[in-house]
Amino acid sequence: MDERRFESAMLRALGARRRTVFAGVMAEFAAIGTAAGVLASAGASVLAYLVATQVFELPYKFSPAIWLAGVSAGVLIVCVSGYFAARGAVNARPADVLRGANA
């Protein structure tokens, strides 16, 4: 998180608004959440296929709801947790952060 604080402080010292920096951070978290959701959905689909066909000997029917729920949950969880983690880094005064980095 120290790197995130330093990066945010540098951007703010160079003239970026707090809202712009925060939007960039949240976009990064949304991309990470999307990747996590896609991977989780792929794993859930493979596991559902294996359980349905190998354990219960039933035909497998693909469900796009698994993908929608997985990606949505991934984005939501990562963005909410990222919001609370990044809030302090973005709101820190640039002078204090940069002064502490040089010490």
**12-32: per-residue pLDDT in tens?**
999 999 999 999 999 999 999
On the CB side of 89, CA atoms within 13 Å amount to 21
Question: Looking at residue 100, what is its pLDDT?
Answer: 86
Q: What is the pLDDT of residues 33-58, one digit of tens each?
A: 999 999 999 999 999 999 999 999 99
Q: Where are the domains of the chain?
A: 2-102
Q: Please count the other Cβ atoms lying within 10 Å of the Cβ belonging to residue 24.
A: 16
Task: Assign 2 a pLDDT band (cuts: 50, 70, 90).
Answer: confident
